[in-house]
Structure 1
Amino acid sequence: MEAILNKMKHLNQISEAFLCCSICLEQFKTPKILSCLHTFCQQCLITLVEKSGGSLICPDCRQQHMVPDGGVPAIKGNFFMDNLIEKVRQLSKASEQKCDLMCEVCQKSESEATWVCEECKCHLCSNCAKVHQNLPATKTHSVLAIEEHKKIQTRPKALQAVDYCTVHLKNELKFFCETCKVPICTDCTIVKHRIPEHIHSDLTDAAKDYVRDMTAMVDKLKTKEREVESSEDETKDLLSELTVQQNTAVQKVKMKAEYMIQQIRLEEQNLTEQVHKSYEMKMKRASVAVDAVELQHGSIKSTCHYMETLMHHGSAAQLFSTKVDVEYRTQQLLAMENPKQEQQEKVEFHPHEIPPAHSILGVLKSDVCISQCSVQNVPKRLPKGDSVELLVLTKDSDGNQVVPRQPVTAKVTYPDASLEDITVNDNGDGTHGIMIHGQKHGKYQVSMAIGSQPIPGSPVSIPVVGGLVGTIGRKGSAP
């Protein structure tokens, strides 16, 4: 009984997942084992091969296998799994009955096993034991009560089912063919596995040797498992690190985007305020002009209406009674000048193609009043070899510094009369820098224009001198 309990203990350690097909997730039905040692239901493999167009790839390890000529049914069956499922089922039922063993012949839940057949190595109930002892084929078998069997066992072992030859169905497998690597019965040693072509050994002894080999292989596999487990941990750590890096990068992008959106909103507000400010005075002047035009128009319209009414409905005396006033008013209105549209500078929004550091969306550009523009930082003399940056200020008619709609251009005429275009740096705030390098001795003439109109004071003259620019002191040219 102790051996049976030990057997139950080991079987109870087998997980339910081990007995289930990983395709249908149910307990194996007609299990087939692949060369990669993964087991699946026969029907599940048939469906898998049909869906993949005839190829067989293990769903667990993705290893490809050859489908035999007989199809999936010709794949080796996993009889060990069949036997294991049956043992687990029997021992599970026995456990439910407080560890009372079931008869392995009739397999009735109420048939408690009280006998053991030592030849068949199976448990029997009282009725099956009587039948077992009366059958001609098993009449000579030794059938003992479980308690008696327990007493004569020096080292109790879990009972194993008898394995029979698949060719000679009634013969027990007792030998192992070392040549063919298959278990065989006595008849097989005479028919297909004859000596000396084939080498035989006792099946139990061969199994013991193979168990030792398998133990060594398991030890190596466990060592390999630990190495792979360590590599798995490193890979998971790498994946975790990559996830953190990804989240950090995404967070930085979001923070930058939020900052840019905030800056864009602020710039939008500033540009909108500038637009309103730029057009405020212009709209006031335009409104005053509209009022004046409307007043003049109303005066002419009312005078015409009065004169037309007088002509159609007034008497002769009434016509002449206002003759002087009518003629005077008519002459007065005709002498009035027609209102002229005052030209207003246009303000436009120009988006940046490549935004500079100080702006994102764009900049407002306006028509400039050329008379308000000027050039600053013009030196009286420029020592040869030095440089100076002229500053052009662009303003509108109200004197506000604005970015011009028209380009600012500059040209320099050197002392040798050669002419060259100079790059103008637009600072984006109504100021423009023009860099002059004093490389030649003599007078430099710098011409600047906005569009086609020259800037007041242009061209400016810059003498490039060598030696002393001036002297100071009592004998100098300046105090």
Structure 2
Amino acid sequence: MASKIPDSHNFDEQFLTCPVCMLHFRDPRVLPCLHTFCRDCLQEWATKQQPLECPTCRTQVSLPDQGVDGLRTNFYVSNLLDFAAVKKGAGPGVPCQVCEGKGEGARSWCVQCAVLLCESCTSTHRRFPTMKGHQIVTQENLEASEGVPSSFQRKAFCPEHEDQVLTFYCEPCQTLVCVACTVVDHRPGDQHNPVKIGSVAERKKRDLQKLIGNVESREKFARGTLNEVERELSELPTSADAAIEQATIYFDQLMALLQDRKEEVVTEISSRRQEVGKCLDTQKEAMEFELAGLTSASEFCKQALEHGSDVHVIEVEGQAQQRVEELLRSPSDLTARPSQVVFSEGTAVAEFRDDVARAGCVHVKVDASKCLVEIKAAVVKFSNVCLLSIVDQNRQLCSVLKDDVTATLTDPSGQVVPTQLQEKGRGLWEISYTPEVTGNHRLEVNVNGGSVAGSPFEVRVQSRDTPVLTIGRWGLGEGELSFPTDVAVDMDGNIAVVELGNKRVQIFDAKTGQSLRSFPVDGECARGIDMDSNGQFIVTFENRYYGTTGNPAIRVYSQEGKLTKTLKHDCLRDPIGVAVLQDGRMVVADSIRKSCLLLHPDGSLIRDIGKGQLQNPWFIAVDESRDLFFVTDIDAHKVFVFDLEGKLKFGFGEPGEDEGELFWPSGITVDPAGNIIVVNRDNGRLQVFGPDGTYLRTVATVKGGDPEGIALTPDNHIAVACFQYRGHCVELYRYE
């Protein structure tokens, strides 16, 4: 593919000059941000900066273990340098670099050897068997070319077999190899699959083409938004001056009574002008900065497609992919910007005596269409809320008067449901209501007389036995679950689920149910999970489960899912439920020992609790404010309550399937008021008992089937792990 750049002088200046030394590139190296510099320039730059930042875009760079030498060579730029040198050098009077000018002048260029050859040396060169495959570019070809010929590319040789050209790509190893490598180190088989680089390069080219499309659409939008911001910056002085003039006229009418207030408002307008200008300048700089990165990435991908060899495309595609994803993953907000400064009277002159405190308010114009309403799942007979965010044109939260906000909710029959509006913070409002019937309700929200984006909203009110959110279904993929046994809430309020079937922990967004990430757990029969005060995951592995034999242990994983330690004390026989105290101690239910173990953070035993009193302990909850822990006994159909010294305080529960009775109680948790929430594994009844074990109410009957571990989320929902039957999911029920 020939270059489209006809002017070789401009071509040199634009593409062959290092931004640091302002000379032609010497051994050009590519940073992860896709900017290219001389190797020596980067070496010197790295000695002056820690951490290293790109000299062009200021992106922080993590160098490979080999330092600058580990960075990829920009083969495209190297080819351009070769071509520029040859086109300049292969002319009359330029000596041959082999015979050193003893014959006629240089007439051609060997791509592989990178030398100028006279006609005689060219003939000799072609006769050598070892040089039989070398590419010779003649002076006529160079002079006829408007750009870089597609054949003008250095061959890439194998680092292991220096006389062999890289012609294959081993996909399992993600490595370019030569023919010799396919016979020795990369022989086709289970672990190696060398394929011709041409097919791989075509696939990589298509990927690069997609990247260009992604970048170009964002680049176009960024350029348009930048123009809009520049326009608003030019209009800002005019609007601010107009606001000051209006304020002056208004306050002159109020005479001496409002003189002090007038000066305050004028000052505030000027201050706001500076703030808005500064904000717009900052946005302009951020957008120019992002635009530069987008343009650079796009140009890099285009250059690789137009001028890179198959080897070059394969080598740079992954790096380009990473850079583009980085740019698209954290873009600047290209639409949000502050409003122009606007002055409003606030109070008519005739009424100023009553409203003098509010006279001359300086504010930004609120666009109702940019305000947001978060509709939360609703349950009949419960107090429910929706969240309203009032924002200015810069999408920054801002305050308005309560009279400027209205919310009207109607039930399926058209009957108005009373609502209450309460400001919870600057620009944040709660719309609360208690529906009397189930079904789809209609919510209209207005700000400053305008409808909020999306209004009217549909609010689905469900019965108390309907989960407000169901997470996952049976399967092995992302967002799917296989035999979930327990749940916990991490430090960000997300729901962590331990899966016995998939041998992993998967973390879900508690509001949307979207899978955020997962990590594998080491061992069979993963059973219980809890979080420690540092945000680490504590996972128990029981001895057996329905014929599956495991290795009893407790494993600790970091927030990123890395195994940090394994606890295998001799006291562990069949750990199931686990609860972690603030100081790192753990209470573990052991079904074979028929007791609960209080353990040090290192897994060593402090005391054995409940021996001779428990039959088959399962899950555990702790109330550290009272130094108590609660354990469900699935065979005794009871909940036992012990203090941390090991003394049995009381127990509650009668066998049965009616309200207030327990039948195979499994999951258990405690709310902030000390109430105890227990779920029956057999009939799915999710019940609440007072701190003394007195039955209070039934929250719901779990739909998923075979509920096991439960957890209470920060926004008052009970997450229930539904093990199998209709389950393989986590259901969330409203709790109040």
Greater Rg over alpha carbons, structure: 1
Give the TM-score taking structure 2 as reference length.
0.28
Compare the two structures and name the one with the higher helix fraction. Answer: 1
Give the TM-score taking structure 1 as reference length.
0.41
